[in-house]
C-alpha cells in the first residue's frame, strides 16, 4: 500500500510539462492545511492496511521547507499504520536542494530522493526552461551522498530535437560516474497545451525524431544493463535492491491513496482523481468534502490495465492470473493473440513479457492486446 502526496507548486514551467501545478505560492499555507485535512478524511480508504511507501510528488515538493514536510508526515503517521522502515521519497530539483535543505530533509525522515536533473548539458537545460545548470545538478547529488542518502534516483529526458547520440552518451556516462542507485529516463513527448507544443507547431522548434529517440532508448538499455542496472520497467532502471517500491506498487496494481489536487487513488475496483485546480480543491476540503471524480472499472478495464501495466515491467503478465480473474475464454483468446508477437516477447508456460525488441513498442503492443 502506498500514499502519494501531490505538491502543486513549481518555480517555473518547463516547456514540456503538462502536470498540474502553480507558480504562485499565495495559497501554499491553505493548501498544506487542506492536505492535512484530506489525509484525515481519507484515512479509511486503504481499509486499515499497512502503508509501505510515502511519495511526495508534484509539481516540486522540494519547494516545501522541512517543517512543512514534517507536518505532513506526522499527520500520515497519526492516521495510518506504517511499516517500521517505509520508503519515503521526495521529488525535487537541484536548485532547491541546498546542503542545509538536504540535511533538514534527512532529519525529517526522507530516505529516498528523486532528483529532476533531466540533462547534464546546459544547452538542453536552457532549451527545456529548467531553473538549474549542470554544475548544480552534479553538486546536488554529491552533497546528498555526503550526507548519507544512499537511495537516490535521477530523472533524465532523451529524444530532444537537438540531442545527438554522442550528447546522450555523455549524459549516461555522467550518471554512471555519480554512482546513483536508480535512474528514470523518459522519451520526450509533445503534449497538447504545453510550450513545447506551441514551439513545434509554430516552427520555432524542430519536430521530434522518433528514430533518434529509439536509438537513444536502445543505448540507454545497453549502457545501464552493462553497468549493474536492471531494466525493470520501461522507463526505470535500478540496481539490485533499489527498485522504486512506490512506483512498483502502481505497475503491480497494489492499492494506493492520492492526496492533493489532481492526485489519483486506486482500490482494485475503482479509480478516482481529485480536481486539478488548487482553488476548487481548497474550497471543497474546507467544506469537508474531497472533490474527486470516480470511475468504476469494468472487467475489460481491469484486464486492459493488467496487460498494459504488466507489459511495462520485467514481471510481465501471468497466465494463471488471467484465467482466475477473467476466465478460460479470455485466456485462450490472449494466447492466440500472442502468436503475433513471438519475436517481441519472452513467452513460457507461466507468463509473457516483452524482450528488448518489444520494449520499444510497449504501449502499441499492449493496446493491440486490449479487449
**234-240, long-range: CB within 8 Å, 24+ apart, which pairs?**
234/312, 234/313, 234/359, 234/362, 235/184, 235/185, 235/186, 236/182, 236/183, 236/184, 237/182, 237/183, 237/184, 237/185, 238/153, 238/181, 238/182, 238/183, 239/181, 239/182
Q: What is the mean pLDDT of residues 267-281?
A: 92
| Closest-CA residue to 286 (of 25, 46, 27) | 27
Q: What is the mean pLDDT of residues 82-86?
A: 96
The region of weakest confidence among 16-30, 70-84, 227-241 is: 16-30
pLDDT interval class at 189 (50, 70, 90): confident
Q: What is the mean pLDDT of residues 131-137?
A: 91
Rg over alpha carbons for the chain, rounded to the nearest Å, is 21
Which pLDDT score, from 0 to 100, does residue 68 have? 94
Flag whether pLDDT at 179 surpasses 70.
yes
Distance, CA of 193 to CA of 221 (rounded, Å): 31
- Residue 54: count of CB within 10 angstroms of its CB: 26
Residue-by-residue DSSP string for 199-268: HHHTTSSPPP-HHHHHHHHHHHHHHHHTTT-EEEETTEEE-TT-S-HHHHHHHTT--EEEESTT-EEE-S
Nearest-10 crossing angle of helices 328-338, 362-369: 140
The region of weakest confidence among 86-90, 129-133, 219-223, 248-252 is: 129-133
CATH class of 299-369: mainly alpha
Distance, CA of 15 to CA of 198 (rounded, Å): 9
Which pLDDT score, from 0 to 100, does residue 312 have? 94
Distance, CA of 359 to CA of 29 (rounded, Å): 43
pLDDT interval class at 132 (50, 70, 90): confident
Task: Look at 18 and 278; give whichever has higher pLDDT.
Answer: 278
**199-208, long-range: CB within 8 Å, 24+ apart, which pairs?**
199/15, 205/161, 206/161, 206/162, 207/161, 208/159, 208/160, 208/161
Q: Which residues, 6 or more positions from 50, have their beta carbon under 8 angstroms from its beta carbon?
A: 1, 81, 82, 83
Distance, CA of 282 to CA of 239 (rounded, Å): 40
Per-residue buried b or exposed e for 88-98, using 16+ beta carbons within 10 Å of the residue's own CB: bbbbbbbbbbe
Q: What is the mean pLDDT of residues 81-93?
A: 96
First to last CA, the chain: 28
Flag whether pLDDT at 293 surpasses 90.
yes
Burial degree of 339 (CB within 10 A; 0-12, 13-18, 19+): exposed
Distance, CA of 52 to CA of 3 (rounded, Å): 8
CATH class of 2-251: alpha beta
Flag whether pLDDT at 162 surpasses 90.
no
Given a contact cutoff of 8 angstroms between Cβ atoms, the answer to whether 67 and 15 are in contact is no
**Digit-coded pLDDT (tens) for 307-344:** 999 999 999 999 999 999 999 999 999 999 999 999 99
**Digit-coded pLDDT (tens) for 1-33:** 999 999 987 665 544 445 545 555 678 899 999
What are the grid coordinates assigned to 187, written together?
A: 522519451
Flag whether pLDDT at 113 surpasses 80.
yes
Which pLDDT score, from 0 to 100, does residue 194 have? 60
- What is the pTM for the complete model shown? 0.92
| Closest-CA residue to 220 (of 171, 269, 272, 258) | 171
For the chain, the domains span: 2-251, 299-369
The region of weakest confidence among 203-207, 256-260, 296-300 is: 203-207
The rounded mean pLDDT for the chain is: 90
Flag whether pLDDT at 363 surpasses 60.
yes
Amino acid at each position: 500500500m502506498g500514499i502519494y502526496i501531490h505538491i502543486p507548486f513549481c518555480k517555473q514551467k518547463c516547456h514540456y510539462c503538462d502536470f498540474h501545478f502553480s507558480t504562485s505560492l499565495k495559497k501554499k499555507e491553505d493548501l498544506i492545511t487542506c492536505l492535512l485535512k484530506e489525509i484525515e478524511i481519507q484515512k479509511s480508504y486503504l481499509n486499515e492496511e499497512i502503508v509501505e511507501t510515502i511519495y511526495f510528488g508534484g509539481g516540486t515538493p522540494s519547494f516545501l521547507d522541512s517543517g512543512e514536510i514534517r507536518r505532513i508526515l506526522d499527520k500520515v503517521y497519526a492516521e495510518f499504520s506504517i511499516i517500521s522502515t517505509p520508503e519515503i521519497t521526495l521529488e525535487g530539483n537541484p536548485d532547491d536542494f541546498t546542503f542545509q535543505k538536504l540535511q533538514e530533509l534527512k532529519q525529517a525522515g526522507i530516505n529516498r530522493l528523486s532528483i529532476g536533473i533531466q540533462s547534464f548539458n546546459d544547452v538542453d537545460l536552457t532549451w527545456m526552461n529548467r531553473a538549474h545548470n549542470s554544475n548544480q545538478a552534479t553538486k546536488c547529488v554529491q552533497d546528498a551522498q555526503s550526507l548519507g542518502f544512499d537511495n537516490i534516483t535521477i530523472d533524465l529526458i532523451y529524444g530532444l530535437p537537438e540531442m545527438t547520440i554522442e550528447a546522450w552518451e555523455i549524459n549516461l556516462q555522467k550518471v554512471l560516474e555519480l554512482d546513483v542507485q536508480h535512474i528514470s529516463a523518459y522519451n520526450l513527448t509533445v503534449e497538447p497545451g504545453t510550450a513545447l507544443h506551441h514551439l513545434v507547431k509554430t516552427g520555432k522548434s524542430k519536430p521530434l525524431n522518433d528514430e533518434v529517440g529509439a536509438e537513444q532508448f536502445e543505448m540507454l538499455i545497453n549502457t545501464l544493463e552493462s553497468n549493474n542496472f536492471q531494466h525493470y520497467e520501461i522507463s526505470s532502471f535500478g540496481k539490485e535492491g533499489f527498485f522504486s517500491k512506490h512506483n512498483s506498487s502502481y505497475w503491480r496494481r497494489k492499492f494506493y491513496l492520492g492526496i492533493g489536487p489532481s492526485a489519483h487513488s486506486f482500490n482494485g475496483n475503482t479509480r478516482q482523481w481529485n480536481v486539478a485546480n488548487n482553488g476548487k480543491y481548497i474550497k471543497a476540503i474546507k467544506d469537508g468534502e474531497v472533490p474527486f471524480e470516480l470511475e468504476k472499472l469494468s472487467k475489460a478495464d481491469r484486464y486492459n490495465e493488467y496487460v498494459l501495466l504488466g507489459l511495462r515491467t520485467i514481471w510481465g503478465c501471468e497466465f494463471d492470473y488471467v484465467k482466475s480473474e477473467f476466465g478460460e475464454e479470455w485466456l485462450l483468446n490472449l494466447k492466440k493473440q500472442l502468436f503475433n508477437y513471438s519475436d517481441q516477447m519472452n513467452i513460457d508456460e507461466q507468463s509473457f513479457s516483452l524482450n528488448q525488441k518489444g520494449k520499444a513498442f510497449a504501449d502499441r503492443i499492449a493496446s493491440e492486446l486490449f479487449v
